[in-house]
Structure 1
Amino acid sequence: MVSARRSFQGSLPIAAMPRLCEALADDAGSADYQLDFGRDEFGTAYVDVRVQAPLWVVCQRTLEPFIMPVKVESRLGLIRLERDEAALPAGCEPLLVAEDDKLNPVDVIEDELLLALPLVPVNPDGALPEDVKRPPAEEIPAEERPDNPFAVLRELKKK
């Protein structure tokens, strides 16, 4: 595929990627992808990966599921040995290829989507429910405030 500079594009159901589904709230939807194989001016084999997918994740602020649009554009340098990683040009991430030179496109797409997921998804349109919001510390009477373990340091600083 590299020598022939092949390109593949299509749509892949989210449900077909089990590792990704474990990190999501729902497996609905599909990922649109394009994979372009080739060699750069240095002779390095690569695959350009472009993926767009609406992923259902759980907002860690409101604990409500929401759709997060994910767009991935990356160039992966195809290497056989880990030591070959140092020879890759800047901006090219390594992708270790098996001894038989076979590559599973679904695994590549799934890996890139997993890497694009934030550690802590937060819905930019979400807000905390009224019963969860806390008043500012100044509005809480002193006798109701929890003990602050750093209060002793504040007293030392005053001296």
Structure 2
Amino acid sequence: MEGRLPLSALTRLQASLLDTEGFVEYSLDFDTDELKVPYVELKIDTELPLLCQRTLERFLLPVRMVQRLGLIREEADEAALPEGYEPLLMPEDGMLRASELVEDELILAVPVVPMAPGTEAIERDWPAPQEERDAANPFAQLSSLKKN
């Protein structure tokens, strides 16, 4: 199953976005693995409009992900999922909503502090101000005792 959603349709995600211009392309592939574990493989391709917290300018965060979700009916079944599977608790009515799955994954993909690529700090360790470096060191006299 493939689809395309406007960002404006993802209401829970909107609070994290600068605007809702754009679309999300996704695909859902349902299958069972060699251990007979049912899963859905979710593929997402989009660009999220965010506000860079360093420059306060709009930028597009590319999001391209493939997530394998193991379908479980009870939380206790989570422990039986193979490594690499994220648990997905099936709704009681058994109906998965593609838009909710896509929105959940995109919410998790938004960084806590969005920063546009290329805006990394040039100097992360700030040098001490010159007046601190020039200040008299009260322990300087002890160094002469150490030499003797």
TM-score by length of 1: 0.75
1:68-108 C-alpha deviation (Å, 9 max, x unpaired) = 11111110001111100001011000011112211111000
Q: Distance in 1 between matches of 2:46 and 2:90?
A: 25
Contact 1:72 1:113 in 2 (8 A): no
Equivalences, count: 134
Q: CA RMSD in A?
A: 2.5
Q: Structure 1: which 4+ aligned runs deviate by more than 4 Å?
A: none
Deviation at 1:17, TM superposition (A): 0.3
Q: Please list every run of 5 or more consecutive structure 2 residues that lacks an aligned counterpart in the other structure.
A: 143-148
Q: Please list every run of 5 or more consecutive structure 1 residues that lacks an aligned counterpart in the other structure.
A: 1-7, 129-135, 144-153
Q: Which position in structure 2 is the counterpart of 1:123?
A: 116
Distance 1:155 1:118, change over 3 A: farther
Q: Which position in structure 1 is the counterpart of 2:5?
A: 12
1:43-54 correspondence runs (5 A): 43-54=36-47
Distance 1:33 1:155, change over 3 A: farther
Q: Which of the two has higher C-alpha Rg?
A: 2
Percent of residue pairs identical: 45
Q: Distance in 2 between matches of 1:109 and 1:102?
A: 15
